[in-house]
Each structure stands twice: as C-alpha cells, then as structure tokens.
Structure 1
C-alpha cells in the first residue's frame, strides 16, 4: 500500500470514510523485539494492501497489540518470533486481559489482534510461526464475553425518562440523533454518516431510511414513521445556517462532522442535564451508550413477535448468531414469568379415567396426538383453531408412555431454536419459551410417576 514507510515505527495514514478520525498513527515502537515487530508490520502491511480486512479494523488491531506488549513486560517474557508463543502463553495472556480490561469488547478485540497476526503467518506458510494451533477453541467463554449483552439493554425506567427528556430537549441535532438511534437501532458510525437524502419514499410513498454500514461495506433500508421523518426535516432546517456545503445530516454548529467521541460526550451530557437515573443502580446518573439503543430495539423487536431473520436484516447483522443473543436478554425475564404457570394441561397415568365415565379406546383414538391426547375428542369437538399450541392448552393430556417423545421434543428446541421455529412455523421466541417450560414441567411430572 502506498504511503507506508515499512521501516518506520509510526505509520501516518489517512482514512476519509470514517467517524473515528481521518488521521491515524499506527504505532509499533512499543514492540521491543525487532523481529517480532517485523512480523506484526508484515500482517498489517499485507492487510492494507490486499484489503482482507477493513482499515478501521486493522487500525484497532494495531492498537490492541499494545496490551500484548504490556503483558510481556509485566511477566518479563521475551519473544523474538511468533513461533515462540505457546498455548500456555496464550492462556496466561487471556488471564491478564480478564484482570486488566473491564469491557468484554476490549478483551476480545485485543485477543483477536494477537490471533490475527499469528494465524496469518500460519496460513501463508511463513517461517518462524507456530506449527500447531496454540489458541483455545472457545475464547469467548474464557474471556467472559458470551452473555454480556444481557446487561446492555436500556432499562424500561430509564427509557421512559429519556422519552420525557426528549420532549423538552433544546439541542435539535442531539434530539434528532437520539430519536433516530432509538427508532432504528443503527450503529453510531452509521448514524453519524447519514446524509441529507437518507430518507427516501417507496412507490407507495412510505418513508425508508437508507443506511450505509462502514463495518460491512453494504447498504440496507429501514422503514420509519412519519414522526421521525418530521424530526429529521426539522433538524435539516435548523442546521441550514451552519451547514455550508456538507451533505452530512448531523453536524456541529461549527459546521464540522460529529466524531464518535463527541457524540458519546453529547449523550453523556444529555443524561446528566436531565437527571436521568436508574432506580436499580446506586450511580447518580444512568449509564447509557449509543449502542444500547440498538440492543433495546433488537430485544423489543423479538418480543413483539418479529422473526429473527427480519431482526437480522433490520439491524444489519452478518449472521443470526448476533441476533440470537437478543433473545437471551428476554429469556431470563420470560422464564421467571412462565415458571409461575408451568404446564396447564393434564399429566396422568391413565387418560381413560379423567372423568367419572371411562373412555373407550375408540374415543382415545379420536383425540390421539403424537405426544398425548386432546380432550376435545371427549367433548364432541373435533376442530381446533389453535395450531401448534397443544402443549399450551388445558385440553392437552399426556401420560408416561410419551415420556421419551417429550424428551426428544425438548432436545430439538435446545439444539437449534431458530431451526425449530422454522420447522414448526412458529414466528416468535416467546411461544418457544413457553413450550420449553411446559415440556420441562411435563417431563418432571412423568419421571416422578415412573
């Protein structure tokens, strides 16, 4: 890549299409071993030249290597080549990250910076790199990063205060930024890169927000309400006096683009000025980040019955893995509520003796189901409008002979919820959660009868 002085310990690069700043100083002077430094530089030079990763991502990886250098210094370790790294060193580094970095994102990002440098050399067959895999199979678990999303949804009490504060907020630009983030769940980088013409109508004149993702280098459109369209128009009118020739939607009153650090500062001031606090936290003011609006929208979308694939498209996730994490947020609260109800049908050793009158084999056959019996057959009703809701119906009966079927059913759900939903034509996680809890109750009762 042009502009790189490979021998220099500081690469001064520019990157125009970003909100983290145009000027980037890539620092390598902290790496004491000249040969280890050269291996690191080679990865970043090739990455920039071949574009196998985005410049912003590589820049963050370069910065993350500083923590690896601090780790080597603290434990008085000397490495001259990547090949000297061992599994034990990596595990020690993970322990160091857990002790010194509070954010799981920082821990995983720093870990990934080291792994990327090493695995690149291995994949390219370069000399002086480890000959075997030295990285653990489940780093997220070791870095305590699997379920941190649970704590990132904005609490309902805090969101209600934010909504009230927006009604009286005088900073039109900031107010509109929060409104857009709250309604669309777009990333901060996407928010700050919105253009004046980002809202476009379809052929039915319904408004859509056109979003470009720097992270993924692709576009997506998000349906928005007329109220948000009006808020954006008000913001555009307000900024006319200082906009100049800029096509960005959100600007400072100096006419300059809003950098990410500045946007975070603006949100922090907003929370403080309006005295927004979390009643469940001892802090004076609530801790709210731009990304939490994204988490909250994803959680609410799943709660309202939106299919995971639709939520994936709405938020611009690369895979369903990220989307599925939002379901985990709700699962904890839902499970507590549904546990109180459990299974509302009947578990019995002898289905034929449910009433004073004994039921014949023919009657039982009429109500036969793969995992039990529908009591409607005993009541002269052979129709049902509640498709796929047998386990949630008080008319459902099951007995010990169906125990293994219930266990297999529960296993299917836990193995792959999304696949189960598709196969069973279920459109929301809430129903799956209720079925799972019903199955747990059924299995527990049937096993007690054995």
Structure 2
C-alpha cells in the first residue's frame, strides 16, 4: 500500500488530471520555469522589483528535472501569490534565500515520483533535515518572545529551510484530499462555509485540530459534535471544545482503557477526571469551563438521541467549583502614566489604538476591526465613534473627545492613501484587520524595553481587556451612574456592569476623610 492511499489522497489518475489543470492555469509569465521578478505581473512584485538592493531576482524551477514535481512546486508558489496569501517579498526574499536547497533536495531524492504526496511528510522531513545538516545548513532558528512573566526568553523553531518543505507538502496533502473539509482531522475555517459572525478576523485561530486522539471512535464523535456546535458557537470556542474533549477522552484511554463507548461511562471515571483537573492547579473558572464542555456534550447526546448516550446522569451541580467574585483588572494610573510617556516609541498605529482604547474601553476585537468612516459628527460639532461589538453581534456608538477624533481623522487619511482597498482603520498588509496578538505584543515589548513597572517594581504585563476594566472602573469612581456606564460599554445587563463597581483606594480614602471632617 503506498503512502497516499493511507492518507485519503485522491487516485493517481485524478492527481494527473489536477496537474494538467495547474499547467492550464499557469499561463504567460507563470508558465516559465524561471521566474524573473522584474517581469512578474503581480502588483507586489512590480513594487518590489524597483528596489535597487534586491538580490534574489530569480526563482529557478528548472533545477528540478522531474516535470510532475516541477509543476507542483510552481503551482504551490503561484497559488499562494495569486490568492493573496503571500506577496512577492515572501517568495523572492523570505523564501527565495532557502528555495534552492529545497529544489536541489527534491531533485536528488525523488527524481521519479509523479506527486510529492507519494512521500510521507515525516519521512521527507527527516531526510531533508539530514540533507541540510550534512551541508552545514541550520535546521533550527532561535526566536525571542516576551513571556507572561515579562521575561525575554529564547524559543527554538524550524528554520525557513525546513518550514518551506513542510508547507509545500502539507499544501498538497490538503489540495489532493479525497473528501470534504469536514472529513479532515484539521478543519480550516477558510475552507468552511461559515457565516461572518462565527469567525473573528482579529484572531490567528484558523484551524480546529482533531489530531492526537488516542481513540478513533471518540475522535469521530467529537468531530460530529463540533460540526453541530458551529451552528451556534464561534469558531474559536468550538476549537476550545475540541481541545478539551480530546484531553478528556485521552485521559479515559490512558486510565480506563476498558471504556470504549460513552454509554460505558460511570461516575468512577468522571470523579477521577475531576480529581485530575483539581490536581492540575488551574483556576476554578477554568475547571468550570472544562466541566461545562463535558456536560454540554453529554446533554446533547441525550437530547438528540444519538446512538451512543450516557446511561445515567454523570455530572451534577456540586461538581462545579465555587468561583470567587472577580475584581475588575483595571490598570493603575501609575502604570498608565508610564505607558503614555512612551507612546512615541510605539508604531504610529499602535499608539493611536492605545489612545482610543484608553478613552472608549472597547474590546480588543472591536478595536482591531474599526472601519474607515467610524467617526461621526453631530450638528454641535461633537464626535462619536461607531464600531461593531463581536460579542453582542450589534453596532455600538459612544461619544469621544475631539483629541481622539483628530487622531482617527489623521489615521483614516493615511490608511486611505496606503490601503485604498481595505475597509479597516488598522489593516494588515493584505487588507485584513490587525490581529489582537500584534497589539498586545507591541505593548508588552514596550513595557519590557522601557521598564514600565507596577508599584512593586515588577515589569507590567498588559492585557488588552484591562483597558475596558479601567474605563468602567474609572467612570464608576468619578460618580457616573451605573446605567450610564452600562450603556457606554454596551453591556446587556446591569450585572455585567456591576463588576466594575470597585472603589479605588484613593477614592475611598478621600471620601472617608471628607465624611470625617463633617462629623
């Protein structure tokens, strides 16, 4: 049995037909076996070719003599360029420095295959790492990231040489897959017919991964359940459901191998799992979330009368830990003063976002998806900000200061010139909205580099949602009625706003002194 038949790949004759279609698609410049960036019609290539310092002018596919493999290689780069996934800089510069090694390796190792899918990915990656190592090429690289403790730490990762081949092979595992997206063990949201409100474009979460299940039966059960949940829940939440259920069923497989079906479950296994959760040292709210996901699965199986259902109630209300009332995680003024004194050291767009969120207190997803035209002005010359609340699935409008309104106007003028086709105020290079992680990462990098500390002298760790808590708490402390704060923040209920009713120590001290003076 060949490798492709094990991995649900279409037949060799179907692959041959697809390769013929690839050649038909790649006409003109793309049909060449050497791609000269100075002749490439792609807009990003036209712009990049003007750079006099450009060193990698050519991508030479003729290095691979195998015509089948050469077509797959060319189409791999053609597809990513012409579908807006990569730009010319990615192909000619980032990958251009490593592609020749990959081409030479493929030509040497696989001169006779009719598709790259004939080779298992694990086998090819092992052979390629050995090939690179023998030639003195590094197969890993060291990146640095700021940890949750605000410490700079090295992180080992595959080098571009290695990731280039891995991406190429995984592309064709997907491209030649024999079935629907739902049949795969990794669902890519970009290939699923999901409505816009199920996908938050500011998150990097593109996939739901079902790989790693120790029991195939439970994997298929969870896949069916997750497909159902996508009708009502967000993609990111369903991704979390898949991960948590994988952890539970793998726990079962390791500790209670005899349990092969849901109807075989008893309180013995559930109580063992609850003990496992409690010994992990995670927060009560996290434990509650995991129990809730499990109970959600069981109740759905029973309610919809699936073939394999629990034989009895397995989870009770007393299984849920008590969750302490959470205090608002506002940012101390001591920290905000330091942050604002260093705004000039942030990228311009991040500094603007920081000023907006300090005043408006929106969620990070709402900040990242602000659109051109979000600024409104009334007949009195006062300004308002209009934005979409992803959590509530509705538009929201709040008043803003003229100073912040001016920042937004300046930003909109700049973006309209640089990204005329993007609808967003803070777009990425491809026109999509900025990712949440970019905003958080820039703030925490600033805190590390400029030594922004809390009152105990520890480097402060910024969480984007803390700005929302700060605005709500500040409004309450300034005497704003709670129903006004509720409307400003766009909360559905008074209970959501009441958590911000936390009195600053300074406010409490001042009010107490005033009261004592009146005695």
Please report the TM-score for the alignment, with normalisation by the length of structure 2. Answer: 0.56
The one of 498, 510, 515 aligned to 1:324? 498
Aligned position for 2:247: 67
The one of 220, 226, 234 aligned to 1:54? 234
1:293-312 alignment runs, 5 A limit: 293-312=467-486
- Structure 2: how far apart are the matches of 1:136 and 1:339? 46
Residue 368 of structure 2 contacts residue 426 of structure 2 at CA under 8 Å; is this kept in 1? yes
Alignment partner of 1:174 is 2:350: yes
RMSD: 3.6
Aligned position for 2:208: 26
Residue 101 of structure 1 contacts residue 107 of structure 1 at CA under 8 Å; is this kept in 2? no
Give how far 1:140 is off: 6.5
The one of 38, 41, 44 aligned to 2:220? 38
- Structure 2: how far apart are the matches of 1:78 and 1:98? 24
Aligned position for 2:42: none
Paired residue total: 335
- Structure 1: how far apart are the matches of 2:368 and 2:390? 11
Aligned position for 1:442: none
Give how far 1:264 is off: 1.8
Alignment CA distance shift 1:334-1:263 (3 Å): closer
Give how far 1:292 is off: 0.6
Alignment CA distance shift 1:330-1:148 (3 Å): same
- Structure 1: how far apart are the matches of 2:325 and 2:491? 17
Give how far 1:295 is off: 1.0
- Structure 2: how far apart are the matches of 1:139 and 1:330? 33
Gaps spanning 5+ residues in structure 2: where?
A: 1-178
The one of 328, 331, 355 aligned to 1:154? 331
Aligned position for 2:377: 201
Residue 187 of structure 2 contacts residue 208 of structure 2 at CA under 8 Å; is this kept in 1? yes
- Structure 2: how far apart are the matches of 1:319 and 1:85? 39
Name the SS of the counterpart of 1:220 in structure 2: strand
Give how far 1:102 is off: 4.9
Residue 369 of structure 2 contacts residue 424 of structure 2 at CA under 8 Å; is this kept in 1? yes
- Structure 2: how far apart are the matches of 1:241 and 1:214? 28
Alignment CA distance shift 1:205-1:99 (3 Å): farther
Q: Deviations over 1:306-325 (max 9, x none)?
A: 33333233223333333222
Aligned position for 1:417: none
The one of 277, 284, 290 aligned to 2:453? 277
Aligned position for 1:128: 308
Residue 202 of structure 2 contacts residue 433 of structure 2 at CA under 8 Å; is this kept in 1? no
Aligned position for 1:420: none
- Structure 2: how far apart are the matches of 1:78 and 1:313? 54
Give how far 1:226 is off: 0.8
Please report the TM-score for the alignment, with normalisation by the length of structure 1. Answer: 0.64
Alignment CA distance shift 1:74-1:105 (3 Å): farther
Q: Please say which of residues 36-45 and 173-182 is displaced more in the overlay.
A: 36-45
- Structure 2: how far apart are the matches of 1:127 and 1:56? 28
Give how far 1:297 is off: 1.1
Alignment CA distance shift 1:343-1:299 (3 Å): closer
Residue 181 of structure 1 contacts residue 191 of structure 1 at CA under 8 Å; is this kept in 2? yes
- Structure 2: how far apart are the matches of 1:153 and 1:31? 40
Alignment CA distance shift 1:339-1:264 (3 Å): closer
Give how far 1:290 is off: 0.7
Give how far 1:341 is off: 7.8
- Structure 2: how far apart are the matches of 1:82 and 1:197? 52
Alignment CA distance shift 1:273-1:310 (3 Å): same
Name the SS of the counterpart of 1:286 in structure 2: coil
Q: Please say which of residues 255-264 and 215-224 is displaced more in the overlay.
A: 255-264
Alignment CA distance shift 1:159-1:243 (3 Å): same
Give how far 1:241 is off: 4.9
Residue 278 of structure 2 contacts residue 287 of structure 2 at CA under 8 Å; is this kept in 1? yes
- Structure 1: how far apart are the matches of 2:356 and 2:432? 20
Name the SS of the counterpart of 1:26 in structure 2: strand
Give how far 1:278 is off: 0.7
Aligned position for 1:402: none
Residue 242 of structure 1 contacts residue 253 of structure 1 at CA under 8 Å; is this kept in 2? no
Aligned position for 2:75: none
Name the SS of the counterpart of 2:438 in structure 1: helix
Alignment CA distance shift 1:259-1:342 (3 Å): closer
